């Protein structure tokens, strides 16, 4: 496998709206981020992904772009963006933006022109079909946020357009070469500005199975999940290869694809040496137990499931490339609330989960607030919820016969707002995020969980993440931590997640006791050094260790064991 400039880096996702507000309007902004670059440096990260900050009506919090070449005034100006790039460069930080090109906003000029003249040039930028009210729709696909993927084309009662996500996110027609060229031009414009690359949004969706056809309905609404169509659509990789050739490869850019359910035979073309992306996120854990019926029907993830999913992902890519490893992002619940059983979310458990994920082979990708162990924020009524996805799932649960309280339970477990509440900087009002009223309330636990407090505490989650990052950057261990092969250790031992990381010279053993009772783990060799320990001691006796509840250690072993 070829070595790439980004392989040894640690990445960090910023959700700009909730990171730091510099002007008291309650919305995080670019100047807020600029003011925190030194913080990111201190934490030890190298690559920073910004969720969308382009001009947008924010119907889906910026994943609905109305101008790819402009910064939304709520986030700042293009001058602020230039300053951010320059300041990041001074600190050797790489800025990566979100690339949202499966769809744009219905307020984008392309869509407005398509509405003015559906038969003209811009009509062909979208998927527009003739449709008389009352006639059957071209297909029964369900949009990601509920309801049909088809909505009436504004101003044209006899036409409809396709949107896999919200109706304010019309899908761009990638079959049209003019669309693709416009997208490549825009990508290169940003790369020319000094951007290091992109996280690539919803990219599997750009290839539709045509002509349209129905799939078996999977809910009472008579519609089917878009997954059926995607499983039957072929050729996305050819679009992506053309995109990479015309853009990313020319700049040696770093790209991380939001890729779900890729076809196994396509994997090398996705993230191999000449892949269309540098890397892609590992979502195998995030989709565990997902029910076609909706959030309300989704069972909690067990330690055994988590372990098996991580190891399967590692195996899948070991000869091919690097995954971006995550426990959460802006679409997911907080990892510590999701993967640690309710009521057991201790500081030790948070560190264990973070450590197990961080030490996997691949690129560790932290999400803002993860480094201080931020947790889900509970809501008591749906009126408090901003996330359009959660609002839909609430309705789905009610329609399935759940009480409002039960439906709120489901929302509280999975709402995307969980990870979008403002960063908890300190214990001052609004957690130091804003001097105004935050657009989304802060988690009331900020008086206990905040960065300022954790800086002072050598045993904090934050100081633990710093140690993990420092180990990755330590020249004595970099080779094995970044490139070492991953080999599961005793995967059959329940609630123990353990693996080797091996290079030609070194063997590390990573152990996590994924339960709230102690457990003994046999050792395959002799410990040379305890490199990381989330507790103060490690009980060892002949050939084994007795791990405390949620204990996590990284051991360097003697020789190759």
Binding site for Ca ion (CB under 5 A): 21, 23, 25, 27, 29
Rounded to the nearest 10°, the torsion over CA 171, 176, 182, 185 is: 120
Q: Determine the residue with CB nearest ligand NOJ.
A: 63
Give the closest residue to 102 by CA, choosing from 160, 170, 158. 170
* Least distance between ligand NOJ and beta carbon 140 (Å): 21
Give the chain's length: 561
Give the closest residue to 20 by CA, choosing from 446, 368, 326. 368
Q: State the DSSP string of 99-125.
A: E--SB--TTSHHHHHHHH-TTSGGGGG
User: How big is the site for ligand NOJ, counted in residues (CB under 6 A)?
Assistant: 9
Nearer to ligand NOJ, 214 or 386 (CB): 386
21 catalytic residue (yes or no) = no
Catalytic residue chosen out of the listed positions 258, 282, 285, 393: 258
CA distances in angstroms from 32 to 22, 75, 76, listed in the order given: 5, 9, 10
Residues of this chain, 323-352, that bind ligand NOJ according to CB under 6 A:
330-331
* Least distance between ligand NOJ and beta carbon 359 (Å): 25
Would you count residue 100 as binding ligand NOJ (CB under 6 A)? yes
Nearer to ligand NOJ, 19 or 63 (CB): 63
Q: How far apart are CA 442 and CA 320, in angstroms?
A: 41
Would you count residue 198 as binding ligand NOJ (CB under 6 A)? no
Give the closest residue to 203 by CA, choosing from 137, 276, 131. 276
3-state secondary structure of 324: strand
* Least distance between Ca ion and beta carbon 229 (Å): 39
435-438-442 Cα angle (round to 5) = 105
Number of H helices, E strands in the chain: 17, 21
Instruction: Evaluate whether 55 touches 70 at the Cβ level (below 8 Å).
Output: yes
Using N-to-C axis directions, what is the helix angle for 347-358 and 461-473, rounded to 10°?
20
| Binds 331: which of ligand NOJ, Ca ion, none (CB < 5-8 Å by kind) | ligand NOJ
| Binds 409: which of Ca ion, ligand NOJ, none (CB < 5-8 Å by kind) | none
Which tokens is 37 given?
């670059």
Nearer to Ca ion, 28 or 484 (CB): 28
Nearer to ligand NOJ, 330 or 351 (CB): 330
Nearer to Ca ion, 403 or 437 (CB): 437
List Cβ neighbours of 547 (8 Å cut-off, separation of 6 or more). Answer: 496, 511, 513, 518, 519, 520, 521, 538, 539, 553
Which tokens is 485 given?
């092969």
Would you count residue 63 as binding ligand NOJ (CB under 6 A)? yes
End-to-end CA distance of the chain: 25
Of 72, 201, 332, 392, the residue at the interface with ligand NOJ (CB under 6 A) is: 201
Of 165, 248, 414, 425, the residue at the interface with ligand NOJ (CB under 6 A) is: 165
Catalytic residue chosen out of the listed positions 72, 80, 106, 201: 201
201 catalytic residue (yes or no) = yes
Of 104, 139, 172, 202, the residue at the interface with ligand NOJ (CB under 6 A) is: 202
Would you count residue 60 as binding ligand NOJ (CB under 6 A)? yes
Nearer to ligand NOJ, 15 or 254 (CB): 15
Would you count residue 386 as binding ligand NOJ (CB under 6 A)? no
Bridge-based pairing state of the strands 54-55 and 47-50:
unpaired
Return the active site residues.
Answer: 201, 258
Enumerate binding residues for ligand NOJ (CB under 6 A): 60, 63, 100, 165, 201-202, 258, 330-331
């Amino acid at each position: 496998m070829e070595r790439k400039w980004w392989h040894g880096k640690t990445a960090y996702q910023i959700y700009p709206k909730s990171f730091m507000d510099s002007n008291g309007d309650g919305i995080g902004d670019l100047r807020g981020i600029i003011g925190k670059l030194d913080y990111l440096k201190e934490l030890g990260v190298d690559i920073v992904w910004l969720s969308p900050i382009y001009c947008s009506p924010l119907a889906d919090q910026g994943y609905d772009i109305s101008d790819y070449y402009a910064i939304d005034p709520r986030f700042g100006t293009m001058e602020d963006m230039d300053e951010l790039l320059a300041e990041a460069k001074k600190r050797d930080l790489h800025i990566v933006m979100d690339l949202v090109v499966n769809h744009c906003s219905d307020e984008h000029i392309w869509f407005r022109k398509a509405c003015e003249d559906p038969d003209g040039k811009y009509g062909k930028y979208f998927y527009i079909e003739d449709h008389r009210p009352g006639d059957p729709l071209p297909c029964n696909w369900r949009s990601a946020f509920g309801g049909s993927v088809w909505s009436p084309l504004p101003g044209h009662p006899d036409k409809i357009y396709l949107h896999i996500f919200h109706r304010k996110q019309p899908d761009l027609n990638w079959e049209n070469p003019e669309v693709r060229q416009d997208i490549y031009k825009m990508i290169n414009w940003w790369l020319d500005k000094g951007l290091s690359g992109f996280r690539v949004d919803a990219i599997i969706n750009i290839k539709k199975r045509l002509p349209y056809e129905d799939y078996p309905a999977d809910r009472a609404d008579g519609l089917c999940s878009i997954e059926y169509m995607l499983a039957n659509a072929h050729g996305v990789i050819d679009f992506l290869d053309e995109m990479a050739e015309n853009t990313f490869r020319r700049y040696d850019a770093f790209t991380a694809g939001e890729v779900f359910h890729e076809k196994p035979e396509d994997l090398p073309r996705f993230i191999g040496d000449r892949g269309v992306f540098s890397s892609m996120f590992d979502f195998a854990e995030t989709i565990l137990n997902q029910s076609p019926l909706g959030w309300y029907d989704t069972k909690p993830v067990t330690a055994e499931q988590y372990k098996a999913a991580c190891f399967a992902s590692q195996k899948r890519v070991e000869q091919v490339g690097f995954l971006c490893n995550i426990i959460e992002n802006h679409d997911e619940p907080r990892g510590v609330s999701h993967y640690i059983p309710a009521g057991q979310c201790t500081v030790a458990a948070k560190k264990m989960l973070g450590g197990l994920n961080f030490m996997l082979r691949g690129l560790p990708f932290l999400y803002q607030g993860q480094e201080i162990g931020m947790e889900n924020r509970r809501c008591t009524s749906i009126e408090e919820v901003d996330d359009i996805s959660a609002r839909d799932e609430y309705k789905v649960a009610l329609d399935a016969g759940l009480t409002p309280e039960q439906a709120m339970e489901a929302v509280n477990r999975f709402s995307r707002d969980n990870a979008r509440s403002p960063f908890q900087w300190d214990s001052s009002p609004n957690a130091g995020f804003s001097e105004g009223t935050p657009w989304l309330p802060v988690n009331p636990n900020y008086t206990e969980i905040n960065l300022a407090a954790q800086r002072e505490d050598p045993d904090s989650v934050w100081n633990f993440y710093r140690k993990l990052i420092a180990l990755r950057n330590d020249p004595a261990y970099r080779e094995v931590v970044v490139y070492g092969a991953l080999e599961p250790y005793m995967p059959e031992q329940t609630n123990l997640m353990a693996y080797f990381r091996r290079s030609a010279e070194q063997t590390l053993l990573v152990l996590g006791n994924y339960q709230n009772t102690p457990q003994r783990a046999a050792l395959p060799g002799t410990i040379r050094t305890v490199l990381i320990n989330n507790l103060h001691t490690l009980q060892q006796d002949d050939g084994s260790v007795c791990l405390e509840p949620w204990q996590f250690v990284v051991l360097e072993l003697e020789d190759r064991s």
